[in-house]
Amino acid sequence: MGCRPHPMLRRSPTRRRPSLAAQVLAVNALLVCAAILASAVGDDVRIQDLASTQSQLLLTAAILASILVNGLVLRRRFAPLEELIATMERVDLAHPGVRATVGHADTEEVARLQQAFNRMLARVEEERATTSRAVLRGQEAERARIARDLHDEANQSLTGLLLRLQAAAHDAPPALAAELAETRELASRAMHELLRLARELRPAALDDHGLHEALHGQVDRFRTPGGARARLDLAPTVDLDALDPDEQLVVYRVVQESLSNVFRHARARHVTVEVTPGAAGPVVRVCDDGCGFAPRHADGTGLEGMRERARLVGGRLSVRSRPGAGTTVELALAVRAPTPIPIGAP
């Protein structure tokens, strides 16, 4: 038996509600009509006179003029509020930076509402960025711990196994020695694979030599299944080592994941990693001439993870690709200090 939602949780059908400006205009129109009728009665104007054509025209003109003036005034006064509502509807924390335009409001209340909304957004975005960076650091700390365990524990055990197999092969008969040599080869492959995994989990070059050397090493080690190599084009005006540690890590991970996708999916003959200066910071591109894909239907390529990493440091990641036309993954960093929010601000 399926669960039925509580009646209070059921969504009511959407209906069009009149705007606040329309409601105020309607009330003003009723008040004008009532005032005109009351004035006519107060001046001893007979109802028969009000029913005459001339009186009806004058009354209608007065009412329409009043409604028109009210409508123009209300439209001007409510325009900043409508703009603020439209800004609220555009807010998406995945794409921060949307702000209400302050300064177009003719009333103090709307101006204060705009400023309060902007301060609230700034606080939310700053708290989200702080939390996201803490999550990123926690993930990398766990990766580093696992990498150390693989390198120090599992690698040492495999090294001991290789030495034991080598010693046993010296005194073994030829048939057994051949089997021991094969086993030793398998253990050696496993050890190299563990070292590779440990290096990918936490690249020592990034900690020891900085992002510039880490990218060079990553590109130099890359080979496609068809044997194609990657090329690194680094603009001399870009100083990658000047980025903060979180930004360096994001650049490294995006390049790493992009090259991994090229290896697994692209069937490319040419692969290029470009680093150029951008409007607000470095721009990193990983380009290939492989089979391409439809980005909207990309599964298992880690694109969402890369986008999330980029957002954590205030950057933006975009993907340009189509079947048969290669792929370009672009990471644009915005290197700027966050705007501080005064303590105690309303």
**Domain count along the chain:** 2
Looking at per-residue pLDDT, the higher value among 204 and 168 belongs to 168
Give the tokens for residue 308: 């999330």
If asked whether residues 122 and 217 sit together in one domain, one would say no
CATH code of the domain containing 316 = 3.30.565.10
Looking at per-residue pLDDT, the higher value among 7 and 49 belongs to 49
If asked whether residues 217 and 329 sit together in one domain, one would say yes
- Tell me what pLDDT residue 8 has: 40
Q: Coil, strand, or helix at residue 193?
A: helix
139, HSE (Cβ side, Cα atoms, 13 Å): 14
If asked whether residues 116 and 219 sit together in one domain, one would say no
Is residue 339 pLDDT above 50, yes or no? Answer: no
CB neighbour list of residue 70: distance below 8 Å, 6 or more residues apart:
24, 25, 28, 29, 32
Percent with pLDDT over 90 in the chain? 18
Phi and psi at 205, nearest 5°, equal -60, -30
Domain boundary among 79, 106, 129: 129
Which structural domain range is residue 298 located in?
210-337
Residue 273 contacts residue 232 (beta carbons within 8 Å): yes
Is residue 7 pLDDT above 80, yes or no? Answer: no
Which region among 133-142, 276-285, 311-320 has the lowest average model confidence (pLDDT)?
133-142
Is residue 260 pLDDT above 80, yes or no? Answer: yes
Beta bridge mates, 19: none
- Tell me what pLDDT residue 196 has: 80
Name the band, by pLDDT with cuts 50, 70 and 90, for residue 48: low
105, HSE (Cβ side, Cα atoms, 13 Å): 17
- Distance CA(75)–CA(179), nearest Å, equals 89
For the residues of 48-107, what is the DSSP string, one character each?
A: HHHTSHHHHHHHHHHHHHHHHHHHHHHHHHHHHHHHHHHHHHH--TTS------TT--SS
Residue 76 contacts residue 106 (beta carbons within 8 Å): yes
Is residue 333 pLDDT above 80, yes or no? Answer: yes
- Tell me what pLDDT residue 19 has: 61
If asked whether residues 125 and 224 sit together in one domain, one would say no
- Tell me what pLDDT residue 341 has: 37
Residue 166 contacts residue 130 (beta carbons within 8 Å): no
Residue 67 contacts residue 25 (beta carbons within 8 Å): yes
Angle between helices 245-261 and 108-149 (to 10 degrees): 70
Note whether residue 214 is domain-resident: yes
If asked whether residues 332 and 230 sit together in one domain, one would say yes
Note whether residue 179 is domain-resident: no
**Tell me: the pLDDT tens digits for 132-190?**
778 878 887 888 888 888 878 888 888 888 898 888 888 888 888 888 889 989 999 98
- Tell me what pLDDT residue 46 has: 52
Residue 191 contacts residue 228 (beta carbons within 8 Å): no
Average confidence (pLDDT) over 266-277: 92
Is residue 44 pLDDT above 60, yes or no? Answer: no
If asked whether residues 325 and 226 sit together in one domain, one would say yes
Q: Coil, strand, or helix at residue 332?
A: strand
Average confidence (pLDDT) over 89-103: 72
Q: Coil, strand, or helix at residue 277?
A: strand
Name the band, by pLDDT with cuts 50, 70 and 90, for residue 5: very low
- Cα 75 to chain centroid distance, Å, stands at 36
Average confidence (pLDDT) over 211-231: 89
If asked whether residues 229 and 123 sit together in one domain, one would say no
Average confidence (pLDDT) over 269-286: 93
- Distance CA(118)–CA(240), nearest Å, equals 33
Consecutive H or E run containing 317: strand 316-321
Q: How confident is the prediction for the chain on average, in pLDDT?
A: 78
Residue 315 contacts residue 332 (beta carbons within 8 Å): yes
Average confidence (pLDDT) over 205-220: 88
Q: What is the pTM of this model?
A: 0.60
- Tell me what pLDDT residue 317 has: 93
